[in-house]
């Protein structure tokens, strides 16, 4: 399909509509504006706070979201143009994977600041593991999307490419599930060991169910050089905002797995309302909530705490 599918009077042949519906102009324009502003804001904050890894990941993620809604907005005038459809489906599928890559790095920062002794892994190990998993997810989604796009262009069966895309999305959901579990494990372990240390009945010896010798429990709060961060009341809002953003991206990823699983002509794919709520809104909240609660503002410029991992 191409722009030639559009007739002279500006109408189009609905049989060639690759969406199964005509994207609504107003909501998609609103989404485009929302993500374009967020893209500019995240870029500015990344430069100001010298957030190299997190800033780069968010630059790519929000940039992809912006490009995706450009495609959807153009499609609101003619949903039969294949190139615009491919831009939005590929960009909006890949964007959240880069968002999660940025948050994986933040966990390494948090582990150092709030106590490596409470973690099951060294800080930088989290980033290495989950960024690697994220890369696998991105490659699968990109390859699947490319295969499905090629099949669409040639009017061939798109099932193989779709299945690979679903596999990539499902892998992303799997990785995010493990990541959230480890985040909770770190929080719960630290809380439990703080309570153990402060208990009047505590005797400093090795605890069978604890993660490390009692000498480590003395340092459960984390390095003294980061005490000012931990004691800041506002940092709790950052941690809460980060958790909320991850949950919203997770909900969106589960939706996209379900959406593609029922096929390109399924009810989840051909009803725009589901997309606007479970994809657009979820990612918009995740992106915007980290603007007033930007990590550099709470963790400091450069956020290089995870570099301490080499000393642990």
CA neighbor of 98 nearest in space, from 178, 174, 172, 182: 172
In the chain, what are the domain boundaries?
A: 18-198+207-304
Instruction: For residues 168 and 145, give the distance between their C-alpha atoms in angstroms, rounded to a whole number.
Output: 10
20 Cβ contact partners less than 8 Å away, ≥ 6 residues apart:
264, 265, 269, 270
Instruction: For residues 74 and 80, give the distance between their C-alpha atoms in angstroms, rounded to a whole number.
Output: 11
The SS3 of residue 6 is strand
| CB-based contact 20:270 (threshold 8 Å) | yes
Q: How far apart are the first and last CA of the chain?
A: 57
Tokens read off for 179: 């990541």
If you search the block for the tokens 């992106």, which residue do you land on?
287
If you search the block for the tokens 């800041």, which residue do you land on?
232
Instruction: For residues 162 and 64, give the distance between their C-alpha atoms in angstroms, rounded to a whole number.
Output: 20
CA neighbor of 116 nearest in space, from 257, 294, 263, 309: 309
pLDDT at 216: 53
pLDDT at 103: 92
DSSP string, 106-145: HHHHHHHHH-GGG-SS-HHHHHHHHHHHHHHHHHHHHHHH
Q: What's the predicted TM-score (pTM) here?
A: 0.84
186 Cβ contact partners less than 8 Å away, ≥ 6 residues apart:
107, 110, 111, 114, 118, 119, 120
Instruction: For residues 259 and 158, give the distance between their C-alpha atoms in angstroms, rounded to a whole number.
Output: 15
Tokens read off for 15: 């049989």
| CB-based contact 6:15 (threshold 8 Å) | no
Instruction: For residues 264 and 252, give the distance between their C-alpha atoms in angstroms, rounded to a whole number.
Output: 17
CATH top class, domain 18-198+207-304: mainly alpha
Instruction: For residues 274 and 265, give the distance between their C-alpha atoms in angstroms, rounded to a whole number.
Output: 14
pLDDT at 12: 59
pLDDT 10s per residue in the chain (312 long)? 333 344 333 455 566 787 889 999 999 999 999 999 999 999 999 999 998 889 999 999 999 999 999 999 999 999 988 889 889 988 998 999 999 999 988 988 899 999 888 888 888 888 889 989 988 998 998 888 778 877 876 778 888 888 999 999 999 999 999 999 999 999 999 888 888 777 644 555 444 444 444 445 556 788 888 888 888 888 999 999 999 999 999 999 999 999 888 877 888 888 999 999 999 999 999 999 999 999 989 887 765 554 444 443
Chain centre to alpha carbon of residue 24: 25
């Amino acid at each position: 399909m191409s722009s030639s599918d559009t007739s002279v009077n500006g109408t189009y042949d609905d049989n060639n509509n690759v969406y199964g519906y005509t994207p609504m102009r107003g909501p998609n324009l609103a989404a485009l504006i929302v993500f374009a502003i967020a893209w500019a804001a995240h870029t500015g904050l990344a430069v100001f706070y010298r957030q190299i890894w997190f800033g780069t990941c968010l630059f790519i993620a929000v940039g992809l979201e912006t490009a995706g809604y450009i495609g959807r907005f153009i499609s609101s005038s003619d949903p039969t143009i294949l190139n615009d459809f491919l831009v939005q489906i590929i960009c909006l599928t890949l964007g959240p994977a880069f968002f999660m890559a940025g948050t994986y790095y933040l966990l390494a920062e948090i582990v150092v600041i709030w106590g490596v002794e409470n973690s099951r892994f060294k800080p930088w190990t989290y980033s290495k593991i989950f960024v690697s998993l994220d890369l696998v997810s991105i490659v699968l989604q990109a390859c699947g999307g490319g295969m499905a796009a090629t099949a669409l262009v040639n009017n061939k069966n798109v099932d193989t490419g779709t299945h690979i895309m679903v596999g990539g999305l499902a892998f992303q959901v799997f990785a995010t599930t493990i990541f959230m579990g480890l985040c909770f494990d770190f929080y719960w372990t630290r809380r439990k060991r703080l309570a153990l240390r402060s208990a009047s009945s505590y005797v400093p010896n090795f605890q069978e169910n604890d993660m490390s010798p009692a000498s480590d429990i003395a340092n459960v709060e984390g390095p003294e050089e980061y005490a000012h961060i931990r004691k800041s009341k506002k940092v709790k809002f950052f941690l809460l905002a980060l958790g909320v953003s991850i949950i919203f991206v997770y909900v969106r990823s589960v939706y996209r797995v379900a959406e593609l699983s029922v096929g390109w002509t399924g009810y989840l794919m051909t009803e725009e309302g589901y997309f606007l709520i479970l994809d657009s809104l979820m990612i918009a909240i995740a992106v915007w909530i980290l603007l007033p609660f930007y990590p550099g503002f709470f963790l400091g410029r450069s956020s290089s705490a995870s570099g301490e991992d080499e000393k642990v």
